[in-house]
Amino acid sequence: MPVELALHVPHAGRLPQAASPLPAPGAGIPGEAYGRLYFGTEVCTHLLPSPAGLDRALALADARGLAFTLLTPYATDRTVLRLRALLRRLARARPDAEVVVNDWGVLRVVRELGAPLVPVVGRLLVRTMRDPRIPALEPADLMGEPVPPSWRASSVGAASFRQLLSGLGIRRAEVDHPPHGLEVHPRSERGDLRLAVHAPYGVIASGRLCAVHAVGRPGASPWAPPSECSAPCRLATLELTPPWSAERPGGGDTTFFQKGNTRFYRLGEGGLAAARAWAEASGVDRWVYAPWVPM
């Protein structure tokens, strides 16, 4: 089965110049030539691309002969208003484009527009265990029991979830492959629901609160969602050292990061090998490669 490789560019500042080569896929990522451009981020309402940024991304995709996917985050009412205009612009320029939704309200907007945009359910709406401590657990931590198989389950494995997506006209779901693994979702079980896996970065947790936004701002509170933001998160990324890693490096070569309002993990060589084995067993037909922390 052919596997499509997509490049994830989180914002216009990361778009390659016209004459520059695209970032090469990282070691362990299947495929050599990109067939699709993913643009945008899933984890912050303030990081929607501007109309000019969207146009630049579309121009790059056109110039390189790439299909196009717009990533969208969970959304406030205000975000939905901005998104509606952005989606209309996308529908005019690329009516065959995909829109990855991580908010059921955004899916409703995509459907209400009546444009031929293709909705995809994003990885934040595919529920699975994301606790980064799981790989470090031992039977002694669980009353002598091994890690329950259910901790590797996801909503894609639920027939009711697949039925919901089918009724909404969704034919693709996106997932992360967490360091502790994910249950296999064979194509014979999924029917016509296709899967895409993001790598090497996966999401641990995200939310509207952002301590980074409050740094250096008198009176700004890290405990209140900002109403406006100049995206200081794009200036720095924190690499995290989990407190359990000194005693039990159970996550292997997995590393952890915080950027803005979101914590991520990055799979190393062992994690990517496990993800590839899972993807082959599950019949995954798309990999989304992120050269940078995806926001």
Give, for all 295 residues of the chain, the pLDDT tens digit.
689 999 999 999 999 987 899 999 988 999 889 999 999 999 998 899 999 999 999 999 999 999 999 999 998 888 899 999 999 999 999 999 999 999 999 999 999 987 789 999 999 999 999 988 888 777 777 887 877 888 999 999 999 999 999 999 999 999 999 999 999 988 888 989 999 999 999 999 998 777 776 666 666 666 666 667 777 788 888 888 877 655 444 446 889 999 988 999 999 999 999 999 999 999 999 999 999 999 9
Angle between helices 77-93 and 104-113 (to 10 degrees): 40
Is residue 198, in this structure, part of any structural domain at all?
yes
E strands, the chain, where? 4-9, 36-39, 67-71, 98-101, 118-121, 172-176, 194-199, 201-206, 238-240, 255-259, 262-266, 286-289
pLDDT of 18: 77
Identify the CATH number of the domain in which residue 115 sits: 3.20.20
Residue 77 sits at the vertex; the CA angle it makes with 230 and 265, to the nearest 5 degrees, is: 55
Is residue 73, in this structure, part of any structural domain at all?
yes
CB–CB of 260/197 below 8 Å?
no
**Both tokens assigned to 167:** 């009724």
Range of the domain at 72: 4-206+267-289
Is residue 222, in this structure, part of any structural domain at all?
no
pLDDT of 19: 81
Q: Radius of gyration (Cα) for the chain, nearest Å?
A: 19
Is residue 250, in this structure, part of any structural domain at all?
no
- Paired residues of 203 in beta bridges: 264
CB–CB of 100/72 below 8 Å?
yes
Is residue 67, in this structure, part of any structural domain at all?
yes
Instruction: Provide the number of structural domains found in the chain.
Output: 1
Alpha carbons 27 and 266: distance in angstroms, whole number: 13
Is residue 240, in this structure, part of any structural domain at all?
no
Alpha carbons 251 and 247: distance in angstroms, whole number: 11
Alpha carbons 92 and 89: distance in angstroms, whole number: 5
**Both tokens assigned to 66:** 């790439």
Is residue 138, in this structure, part of any structural domain at all?
yes
Is residue 227, in this structure, part of any structural domain at all?
no
Q: Which of 134, 149, 148, 106 is nearest to 202 (CA)?
A: 134
Provide the 3-class DSSP secondary structure of residue 127. Answer: coil
Q: HSE, CB side, 13 Å, CA atoms: give it for residue 225.
A: 9
